[in-house]
Structure 1
């Protein structure tokens, strides 16, 4: 009985983190099937984005990489790159909110839309706030004792991983609008905040390279810092491309709008 409880306690953190993503994948596929029966077929490329994004998150929180991340900072940084940057980007590109609104009953969809239009969501989805949650959270994690404390406290371990994903997702959807967004911010504002966030992310990766977190070997910190710097840049380039593409299309559409005749 005691051995069973010990095994349960060992597997619980990974299970608790992986299950929501697994349920999310099941829900997404089910929603696609339901949506295809009511409307035109859901784009296949969005299914690929959603599936790969959720699988990236599961790999980051459960399995060999997650196990190794407890003792190897390089593996930890790779898992956080998957969980906090790549998975949120791919899931955002899969347009989950649009699919949800196509699937649920109209009355429920209206209530959900009302929540999205609330002042609370306006604040939470503001690029400045999402950047503070995302980049600011990473600074706190790696420049304090929080990183070492995380590995000895299950609740803290769960909270930090959940925060990394949610903060990364909110940051992503505040920068690029794939789903309908009630509270739209200007391209200029998003671009300025994005540049500041990029600088904060880059400086942090260099800080980690030169100042390893507590109990992290210097060699692992250097490799982890480079993964954070170059891996983060690779994903950010995709975000920049999408943001600029949307901006270009928006400017082009406004340029071709015919002016109304004056009376």
Structure 2
């Protein structure tokens, strides 16, 4: 039975992952291995998130995102608090205050994500304010009250308790642990209400599109009604919000600017243009994952290709000059107690063998160019188009391979291998030639990619499916060329500046030692000439 229905399969997968994580928690001690165990543990919550809202219904993708984020960050929040309780006997002396500060920062992020994801879930399932008086709505209100209480606990930690613990030491520990106990009680209430919500029918019913009285082909395929006819203005006016990427972009801007603020507060400079480019890149990422392109890429291959090109070529061109790793290394304080914080984890990731491999210029170029063939001419394209998890993987993949390739050309963040500037230009030209060939092959091709999806939408507007695919090839060819030219220009400018720096460095060295290197070279020539005359 477990393997025959989707809920049973989800529970089976979650149980197996939980068992694996339990064994690994006792078996591994290496920091890298622990990081992988964390990833596996988070992955164990994904199957249940996918079952929290019926597939094929309107709003399914948004509901899965919201529930997944809710589960993951609630687990981190509650798990962190339980960990502090379990390690209570170890948090003696001066250990408690720094641990509490770190947990408080994590809990604040969790509070924001849990609140935002809870709101989205309630909006999808409740629909309107008058439905809050239903049984489901009343449970939502109880959970909101518990969440607000937990927010007050967090404020008490940050504003009152940490200061008292620093001033009074052990005298303030009693009230602190009582507050932790009360917070655990409210978390228990919230968790119990969440379990009750999972067993209560929501006011907004979940009707699979195929069961509607007269479903359109687009509804049967996507679960959503066909959007209005695409026009250039509709790319700006149509929106399909994705909470995951809203939060990622918001946190990306916030933490970057917080790092810049910390540098300037201690008197260190950070180039303004780097901040502007980073924020612009995050805004671009927000639009591509939430705006009109995200609305239409389910229905039009050309919109999908536009999203691909922007994710892989335009957004990295803005993000890479922002130098986030360099900023993090300068802004995040180094841990002095032997533990690992953000700075230590970033350093470990940057210097890991995996990062050294995928970050190698040749490997990055192969991933960037080879992804075109592997993705579009394999089942990956179907998975990324028809499945929400596949769609999220596609965004992450295109963004990362584009970032790695751009970083090797114009990045200032540390990399395992740096090619000379002439080799960078050759690598860029070779990769872009392959890119242009791919675009031209789509422009002239007559075979449909994913014909049972794009060709079965039943669109009453727009070009034919083949013409739209050929237009997508034109986008791959034309839009890809603009960032290529920009990359080539920036690389050439960096090459020129590097030569000037080398020349200035050589002149300074010559001034210091009286041009000893040139004198030695001339003496060597004179000795050779004297030897020839003899």
Query: Structure 2 length as normaliser, TM-score?
Result: 0.45
Q: Write the distance in 2 (CA, Å) between the matches of 1:36 and 1:89.
A: 25
Mapped contact 2:263–2:330 kept (Cα < 8 A):
yes
Cα RMSD (Å): 2.4
Cα 1:39–1:223, aligned 2, differ >3 Å: closer, same or farther?
farther
Q: Unmatched 5+ residue regions in structure 2?
A: 1-51, 66-241, 336-340, 455-464, 521-534
User: 1:253 corresponds to which residue?
Assistant: 501
Residues 111 and 70 from structure 1, CA distance in 2 versus in 1: closer, same or farther, beyond 3 angstroms?
closer
Instruction: Provide structure 1 residue ranges, at least 5 long, that are not aligned to the other structure.
Output: none
Inter-partner Cα distance in structure 2 for 1:35 and 1:181:
23
Greater Rg over alpha carbons, structure: 2
- The partner residue of 2:270 within 38, 42, 45 is 42
Contact 1:36–1:42 (Cα < 8 Å) also in 2: yes
Matched, 1:10 2:67: no
| Partner deviation per Cα, 1:90-114 (whole Å, 9 max, x = no partner) | 0111121121112101345466446
TM-superposed CA distance for 1:182, in Å, is: 5.0
Choose from 243, 246, 250 the match for 1:22.
250
Q: How much has 1:181 moved relative to structure 2?
A: 3.6
- Rounded Cα–Cα distance in structure 2 between residues aligned with 1:76 and 1:220: 11
Relative contact order higher in (CA < 8 Å, ≥ 6 apart): 1
Asked whether the equivalents of residues 53 and 90 of structure 1 are also in contact (C-alpha less than 8 Å), the reply is: yes
Between the aligned partners of 1:150 and 1:182, the Cα distance in structure 2 is: 31
Contact in 2 for aligned 1:17/1:158 (Cα 8 Å):
no
Task: Return the offset for 1:121.
Answer: 2.8
Q: Following TM superposition, where does structure 1 have runs of at least 4 consecutive aligned residues deviating by more than 6 angstroms?
A: none
Moved more, 216-225 or 111-120: 111-120
Aligned partners of 2:473 and 2:265: how far apart in 1? Answer: 47
For 1:120 and 1:254, the matched residues in 2 are separated by 32
TM-score, normalising length from structure 1? 0.88
- Contact 2:443-2:470 at 8 Å conserved across structures: yes
Please state how far the C-alpha of 1:119 moved relative to its aligned partner.
4.1
1:237 aligns with 2:485: yes
- State which of 200, 214, 220 in structure 1 corresponds to 2:450: 214
Q: Deviation at 1:118?
A: 4.3
Query: What corresponds to 1:31 in structure 2?
Result: 259
Counterpart check, 1:141 vs 2:375: yes
Q: Within 5 A, what are the aligned runs for 1:116-155?
A: 116-155=350-389
* CA distance in structure 2 between the aligned counterparts of 1:205 and 1:198, rounded to whole angstroms: 10
Q: Does the CA-based 8 Å contact 2:323-2:411 persist in structure 1?
A: no
Distance 1:23 1:145 in 2: 33
Q: Give secondary structure in 2 for the equivalent of 1:106.
A: coil
How much has 1:41 moved relative to structure 2?
3.9
Does the 8 Å CA contact 2:323/2:412 hold for their aligned counterparts? yes
Partner residue of 2:312 out of 61, 84, 87: 84
Residue among 264, 289, 296 paired with 1:61: 289
Query: Which stretch shows the higher mean deviation, 12-21 or 61-70?
Result: 12-21
Find the counterpart in structure 2 of residue 192 from structure 1: 426
Work out the CA distance in 2 between the residues paired with 1:156 and 1:239.
30
